[in-house]
Amino acid sequence: MRETIGGVVVDLSRFYSDLQPLVPLMRKWLDGDESEQLERVKAARTAELQALWEAPDGRWDAINDFMDEFNEGPEPQEAEVLGRFVAVALEAGTELDRRLP
């Protein structure tokens, strides 16, 4: 099934089953451009940030395997979107560190 996430057309069936639970979060957090995404992170409630930060936990092997598939050739849009999602999740961790003592 193809749809647009973060302005990029992706085929969701290309994501491994381990990565499928991240798709709703990708839809939510990757809306708009990078600056809008960062503003959304800064404005989010702490509980939302915690959920975003924790989402990749237990999925790092699948994330790395998916990304590694495309080291030898052109990067498909799905890898671009996954990479952007990881960046937003890491930004959520940075924001949590800033907020929490």
Per residue in 3-42, pLDDT tens?
A: 999 889 999 888 999 999 999 999 999 998 889 999 999 9
Q: What is the mean pLDDT of residues 74-101?
A: 92
Which residues on adjacent β-strands are paired with residue 2?
11
Supply angle C-alpha 95, 97, 101, rounded to 5: 130
pLDDT of residue 84: 94
User: Is the predicted pLDDT of residue 72 greater than 90, yes or no?
Assistant: no
| pLDDT at res. 75 | 75
Whole-model pTM: value is: 0.90
Helices (H), the chain: 23-29, 34-43, 46-54, 60-68, 77-99
Among left, alpha and beta (phi > 0; psi -120 to 50; other), residue 94 is alpha
Structure tokens at 82: 């996954």
φ, ψ (nearest 5 deg) of residue 62: -65, -40
- Quick: pLDDT tens for 86-99: 999 999 999 999 99
The total number of structural domains that make up the chain: 1
Q: Which residue range is the domain that position 30 belongs to?
A: 2-99
